[in-house]
A and B are shown apart, each in its own frame.
Chain A
């Protein structure tokens, strides 16, 4: 491993054996781990901790749909609580498209029937997107609609996350 002037971020997501309706193997999810890394990387001031690695481990206790956005928002909260320097918190929301309907924060069942999906992670107070993932077929108009829906939800979620952090910080003191 090379000496590095900036910090590193390392992400790992795993599922419990009982997180899904049929008992699983409780394995790591490599794809989600990589996406979590990409969603958070841009929000962290890596220059503030040279030659140090920050590990983010997520364990999904119960999977009920919209797993990745929940993990991303949760991990960002944990980083902010740990006192890691960052430009902004990251809130993440997903939307599923079934037929002509857009469904925000879909459940597993809704995700199973989806025609297309849209996930956005953003830094709410800086109005910057750290990650955007589209799957399936989208029309330009629908993308716009989904984007607005998500950005609005991200900013609301961000407010809730901030009040959570403040509550935790004030009870500690």
Chain B
């Protein structure tokens, strides 16, 4: 790197740090990495400050707002009664969608959607379905007649890296916050939802009186790391993701079982030790996220 350094010294004197950072981002980052400190002051393995608030959308049945540094995600779950399919008469359905509206990033414009959004949608669906977070049988109301169609919509309000991690955390938090609406059978045998106000005068049989919460079996959590040379940077910002292109995402469940591992190409080949390091960083991160989630849930109960 000696050549690179000398080749550019002539220009450093004439510009501000910000300008140098934009022109020679890789050189700028490599200098910071030598000191094991990122430009935002984080050690390489530390995630950004994470916050969670539950019940952010009052019109939804379950919702959560998550922030990883500047990355902001809003997840909301809405339940609708549907007729289950013939193949699985006692199962409900799950639809997960990830959205990146123009507000989230300068690279997204109306008519020019983000290419990454459908990819993250699919990854979220895979992680949530394969972790066994939701037992689809629990979404059944009356076998063969009625079940819950569960819409999970996650909106990225500010995209500053590690989008999948933040979106997954928002989705599982929204599931923990989810309260299933009450339903009753109408005269014609149709299933209708009962809202709070007319609960008293419809003293008819409620189909799901005791079943207001889903049992969440094993909750998936994830951590994305950027790999560059021998460095591993946890929870990267958008700038870090764009400069150092190799990403590795690990999804673990609450008992640290591996659910999935993505490494979508990139110029850095991950050695076994690097993958192991990423997994052990993720283990630590899972503990942090679990703590944040359980604190938010117990705050809800106090209210």
B-binding residues in A (CB < 8 A): 12, 14, 16-21, 23, 26, 28, 55, 57-59, 61-62, 64
Contacts and interface: CB of A to CB of B under 8 A. Distances in A.
Given A12-B102, A57-B101, A59-B103, A17 B153 contact: yes
**What bracket does the count of chain B residues touching chain A fall in?**
20 to 34
B103 A17 contact: no
A61 B57 contact: yes
Given A23-B80, A59-B157, A18 B59 contact: yes
B28 interface: no
A23 B78 contact: yes
7 contacts: A14-B101, A16-B74, A18-B57, A18-B60, A18-B76, A23-B78, A26-B153
A11 B57 CA distance: 25
A82 to B, nearest CB: 13
A21 B60 CA distance: 8
A19 B80 CA distance: 15
Interface in B97-152: 97, 99, 101-103, 109-110, 151
A54 B2 CA distance: 43
A59 B100 CA distance: 11
Contact of A61 (B74, B80, B110): B74
B101 A59 contact: yes
Contacts of B74: 16, 61
Given A18-B153, A58-B103, 15 more contacts: A14-B102, A17-B78, A17-B153, A18-B76, A23-B80, A23-B151, A26-B153, A28-B110, A55-B102, A57-B110, A59-B101, A59-B155, A59-B157, A61-B155, A62-B59
A93 to B, nearest CB: 23
A18 B78 contact: yes
Interface of B: 57-60, 63, 74, 76, 78, 80, 97, 99, 101-103, 109-110, 151, 153, 155, 157
Contacts of A64: 59
Contacts of B102: 12, 14, 55, 57
Nearest to B157: A59
Nearest to B76: A18
A16 B76 contact: yes
B98 to A, nearest CB: 11
B155 A21 contact: no
Contacts of B99: 16-17, 26
Contacts of B57: 18, 61-62
B151 A17 contact: yes
Contacts of B76: 16, 18
Contacts of A23: 78, 80, 151
B183 to A, nearest CB: 16
A21 B193 CA distance: 13
Contacts of B153: 16-18, 26
Contacts of A57: 101-103, 110
B58 A12 contact: no
B58 A62 contact: yes
From A18, A20, A64, residue with most partner B Cβ within 10 Å? A18
A33 B80 CA distance: 30
Contacts of A20: 59
A16 B110 contact: no
A19 B59 contact: yes
